[in-house]
Structure 1
Amino acid sequence: MAGRYATALFDLAAEEGAIDQVASDMNEIGRMLGESDDLMRLVRSPVYSAEDQRRAFGAVLQKAGIGGITANFVNLAARNRRLFALPEMVRAFRAIVSRHRGEVSAEVVTAQELTEEQATSLAAALKEAVGRSVNLSRKVDASLIGGMVVRVGSRMIDTSLKTKLNGLRLAMKEVG
């Protein structure tokens, strides 16, 4: 279902010549959802009515300066009681835009926020490894302690301290 919504949004954005603007707006929505547990509860909770979700999320979009096609899309999703799937719609839309631009999407989870210089360097290294431009989706997970987890397509590279410590703990159990 999320894919159908994302495809419809992409088709409308392409028809209006607003792919870049809508992509920017959807990235901002994804960032806001990833950073706010309250916002995630709003979109996922069946306790709120469709109208309450629409009004509350509309206020969030207005405060973030998101309007036009993207705001109308989110309103439609809320009216249809599909706001719970908004995070998946954002991911699906990003994937469609990446394919359209000839890019590969990569999800990077780090223990601390990457600086722009680090993100640029990582994107360049991934571009060299996969041979195509890379669109980074960044998340922060402090439980990783250090390092990062990178997913490009079906490949995953996990260099986090959390994983290394878990591996060491298992190795110690086998010895003892």
Structure 2
Amino acid sequence: MGNKAVANRYAVALFQLAKEKDILKQIGEDLQLVKAVFEQTERLSNVLEHPKVLEEQKVKLIKDSFADAVSAYVLNTLLIMVKQKKGNLVIPFINKYQELAYEAQGVAVAKVYTVKALSEEDKQQVSTTFAKKVGVETLHIENIIDPELIGGMKIRIGDRIYDGSIKRQLDRLQRTLVAGNR
């Protein structure tokens, strides 16, 4: 079984438990904390993957790092993953859980590419407009600065892309002009 499938199985199991206990949001917040620690501490993943580090040491590291910060459900899932030698799948597992939780809550994430940072008001307007288009209640905006766009914006929601950038319009115009000269 591939690593992605294994990570998905852990995520689905925790998601079902969280949904049953009505703590989707709390578990999601705990997992975002864990994700931030893993992303900011590259050595943590290296230690969990290293074959010469004993399992007991890995378990102690996870307990010392997260026991007071996350729920018992999240801690136990992390410990199971470490004991099963799946510590390298923590980030994919968290991403899949978040995807499942957002879907259950009617939430999606949009990556909005712009030349300059969007104001909170602009983010809210984009969220309101595009949430209706993709059929979700809430759209979380992740603003990414891309100077190559020249102007306008490009929005990616899942596998959908809405491209209203000036760069795209210029590319389209160029293709039209080149095709007309043949």
TM-score (norm 1): 0.66
Q: Find the aligned partners of 2:128 and 2:46 in 1 and give their Cα distance.
A: 36
> Is the Cα–Cα contact under 8 Å of residues 45 and 84 in structure 1 kept in the other structure?
no
Alignment-derived partner of residue 15 in structure 2: 10
Aligned pairs, number? 160
Q: Secondary structure at the match of 2:67?
A: helix
Deviation at 1:53, TM superposition (A): 2.1
Deviations 1:115-150 (A, max 9, x none): 87776566445425534234548598x9x7898986
Q: 1:150 to 1:43 in 2, by over 3 A?
A: farther
Alignment-derived partner of residue 127 in structure 1: 131
**Structure 1 residue runs without a partner (length 5+):** 160-176
Alignment-derived partner of residue 42 in structure 1: 47
TM-score (norm 2): 0.64
Q: Find the aligned partners of 2:163 and 2:50 in 1 and give their Cα distance.
A: 32
Alignment match of 1:51 (pick from 18, 40, 56):
56
Alignment-derived partner of residue 67 in structure 2: 62
Alignment-derived partner of residue 180 in structure 2: none
Deviations 1:72-130 (A, max 9, x none): 111111111111101000011001101111222345799xx998777656644542553
Query: Are 2:115 and 1:100 equivalent residues in the alignment?
Result: no
Letter in structure 2 aligned against 1:104: A
| Structure showing greater Rg | 2
Q: 1:2 to 1:71 in 2, by over 3 A?
A: same
Give the CA RMSD over aligned residues: 3.8
